A and B are shown apart, each in its own frame.
Chain A
Amino acid sequence: MERNLMKGNEALAEAAIRAGCKCFFGYPITPQTEISAYMAKRMPKVGGVFLQAESEVAAINMVYGCASSGVRCMTSSSSPGISLKSEGVSYMAGSDLPCVIVNVMRGGPGLGGIQPSQSDYWQATRALGHGDFQILVFAPSTVQEMADYMEKAFDLADKYRMPAMILADGLLGQMMEPVTFRSDEIRHPDPADKPWATNGHGNKRKHNIVNSLYLQAEELEELVVQRFKRYEIVKSELHEAECYRTEDADIVVAAYGSVARLAKSAVDSARDAGIKAGLVRPITLWPFPEQEVKAACKNAKRVLCVEMSMGQMIEDVKLALDCRLPVDFYGRTGGVIPKPSAILEQIKILNEKGAE
């Protein structure tokens, strides 16, 4: 297969189309606008729909409607836009609808800035909207993974009937790298796989209803409890992380997405300097790969969590380790990218400190 040089944003868009995404509803915002631009060009050529909505709120509700009919669809935005979409995401989770939402994160809170950030980790993994619910969250680290996990996100959103998110950042969205697509073919998922879809019953079956309003408390409780049983199945089946040089590592760095790449460079430099350093990179952020993180840190004396935020994933790392190891934090925020040399400095400091 041909290696294409593409921006992360473009790779996401092309992979979505090949995964059978038929409708894209969006609203432009830096640094993810290339997704919309690519969809505007490509979607009409493959018989799909590109629609620029009047607002983010409108776009997510178009996704809600489209997903109800069983069609693969998506939207994309960046941090402030995702906050606007959160109401619709909650409705979709409450209606058990699959879709893919891309967040190419930028600095916050508020309008924040437009440079890369990871400060929406809590929003994505804890509370992308009101109510008891979770969404699948994938954190690619290369342009190739942007393509690979986009396809996977569609498949798993359908499988588990829940929204899935690709959580990227401005660095991954804007950078170009070679990417190879799994196939040149555009997939056409079988509508019969979604017997719940409101796609016309032709008087041949009982009509389907998509809804998230339940005024009887017991009825709503039962639905939520059943949904959480499904989440337990998801947790048991889906947990991915990459472990890099962790086998004998004294210091394990935990980082995801683009920051994991910077951390990998720092780990290599640390190894060159004779420090036993390694990296564990969660790829699924919900469900969080607890077993993998625990296994990667089994010989570690200390753990260093590195993020482009004030420290959000660090809570999940501590929980995965049952707080048995000291977990330190290094991060830059507001759109500042941490330098590999600064991460290396932190690794050296922790190595000096040794075990507690």
Chain B
Amino acid sequence: MTTETIFAGFGGQGVLFAGKLLAYLGLNQDKQVSWLPSYGPEMRGGTANCSVCLSDSPIGSPYVTEPDVLIAMNGPSYDKFIESVKPGGIAIIDSTLVTKECTRTDIHSFRIPSTALAAEHGLPGMANIILVGKLLKETGIAVIDAVRPTLEKLIPPKKANLIEANMKALAIGMAL
């Protein structure tokens, strides 16, 4: 089985990091994984996105064109990718920044005010992780206990204080 995910938003919202977290979770489960970022002018203040594939077999195309799961963190990213989600797939949308209601009825869409929730809980810049929490809940890709060792690997030691904040943000997302 293969799960293909696109994370998309503004540069600076942590979409590439959120994708890396998912890729590392797959790595720790001995899955085949790939992570492909957008690079270039779009990273510098414009839209950023990354494709993440998790699979039990070798991954062909790392370039995702029809995602099983979309995480959209701003309006332009939502507009760009919402139609490409596979029927039966999942869209997790930051409703603080995406004002449009999702009109697709053939996918499971979740509107989560993650930017507002992050601010409310004193977790600035962690809207991305709240959405990853929701992704883990809806896909069952990993349980929350599996995330801590992954975060410890991914976050450099000098920023270790961020691990607790990330865990808190994940828990918020998983409770929604």
**Among B27, B36, B37, B66, contact of A178 (Cβ-Cβ < 8 Å):** B27
Closest chain-A Cβ to B115's Cβ sits at a distance in Å of: 26
Looking at the complex, which of B56-64, B100-108, B118-126, B159-167 is the stretch in contact with chain A? B56-64
**Among B33, B40, B62, contact of A261 (Cβ-Cβ < 8 Å):** B62
Q: A5-B33, A176-B34 given. 4 additional CB < 8 A pairs?
A: A175-B37, A178-B27, A262-B63, A265-B61
Task: Give the residues from 111 to 135 in chain A that come closer than 8 angstroms, CB to CB, to chain B.
Answer: 114-115
User: Is B62's CB under 8 angstroms from A175's CB?
Assistant: yes
- The CA-CA distance from A40 to B63 in the complex, in Å, is 29
B residues in contact (CB < 8 Å) with A:
20, 23-24, 27, 30, 32-37, 39-40, 59-63, 65-66
User: Is B39's CB under 8 angstroms from A176's CB?
Assistant: no
A337 at the interface (CB under 8 A from B): yes
Indicate whether A268 sits within 8 Å of B36 (C-beta atoms), given known contacts A5-B23, A178-B27, A340-B65.
Answer: no
- The CA-CA distance from A114 to B41 in the complex, in Å, is 9
User: Is B37's CB under 8 angstroms from A265's CB?
Assistant: no
Closest chain-A Cβ to B7's Cβ sits at a distance in Å of: 13
User: Is B36's CB under 8 angstroms from A114's CB?
Assistant: no
User: Is B35's CB under 8 angstroms from A178's CB?
Assistant: no
Which residues of B have CB within 8 Å of A178? Answer: 27, 32-33
Number of A-B contacts (CB under 8 A): 62
- The CA-CA distance from A338 to B35 in the complex, in Å, is 18
Which residues of B have CB within 8 Å of A114? Answer: 39-40
Closest chain-A Cβ to B22's Cβ sits at a distance in Å of: 11
User: Is A261's CB under 8 angstroms from B35's CB?
Assistant: no
Which residues of A have CB within 8 Å of B63? Answer: 171, 262, 337, 339
Which residues of B have CB within 8 Å of A337? Answer: 63
- The CA-CA distance from A20 to B62 in the complex, in Å, is 31
Closest chain-B Cβ to A228's Cβ sits at a distance in Å of: 39
User: Is A115's CB under 8 angstroms from B35's CB?
Assistant: no
Which residues of A have CB within 8 Å of B24? Answer: 5
- The CA-CA distance from A114 to B44 in the complex, in Å, is 14
User: Is B36's CB under 8 angstroms from A175's CB?
Assistant: yes
Which residues of B have CB within 8 Å of A268? Answer: 60
Most buried by A among B20, B24, B59, B60: B60
Which residues of A have CB within 8 Å of B65? Answer: 339-341
Residue of B nearest to A115 (CB): B40
- The CA-CA distance from A262 to B64 in the complex, in Å, is 10
**Among B23, B30, B32, B39, contact of A174 (Cβ-Cβ < 8 Å):** B39
- The CA-CA distance from A174 to B38 in the complex, in Å, is 9
22 contacts between A and B (CB under 8 A): A5-B24, A5-B27, A30-B39, A114-B39, A115-B40, A170-B39, A171-B62, A174-B36, A175-B35, A175-B37, A175-B62, A176-B23, A176-B34, A176-B35, A177-B35, A177-B59, A177-B62, A178-B27, A261-B62, A264-B61, A339-B65, A341-B65
The 3 A-B residue pairs whose C-beta atoms are closest, nearest first, are A265-B60, A176-B35, A265-B61
Residue of B nearest to A106 (CB): B40
Closest chain-B Cβ to A36's Cβ sits at a distance in Å of: 15
Most buried by A among B32, B35, B40: B40
A311 at the interface (CB under 8 A from B): no
Task: Give the residues from 259 to 307 in chain A that come closer than 8 angstroms, CB to CB, to chain B.
Answer: 261-262, 264-265, 268
**Among B33, B39, B60, contact of A177 (Cβ-Cβ < 8 Å):** B33
A31 at the interface (CB under 8 A from B): yes
Cβ contacts A160-202/B at 8 Å (1 or 0 each): 0000000000110011111000000000000000000000000
Closest chain-B Cβ to A336's Cβ sits at a distance in Å of: 11
A206 at the interface (CB under 8 A from B): no
Cβ contacts A238-266/B at 8 Å (1 or 0 each): 00000000000000000000100110110
A353 at the interface (CB under 8 A from B): no
Residue of B nearest to A175 (CB): B36
A3 at the interface (CB under 8 A from B): yes
Residue of B nearest to A244 (CB): B60
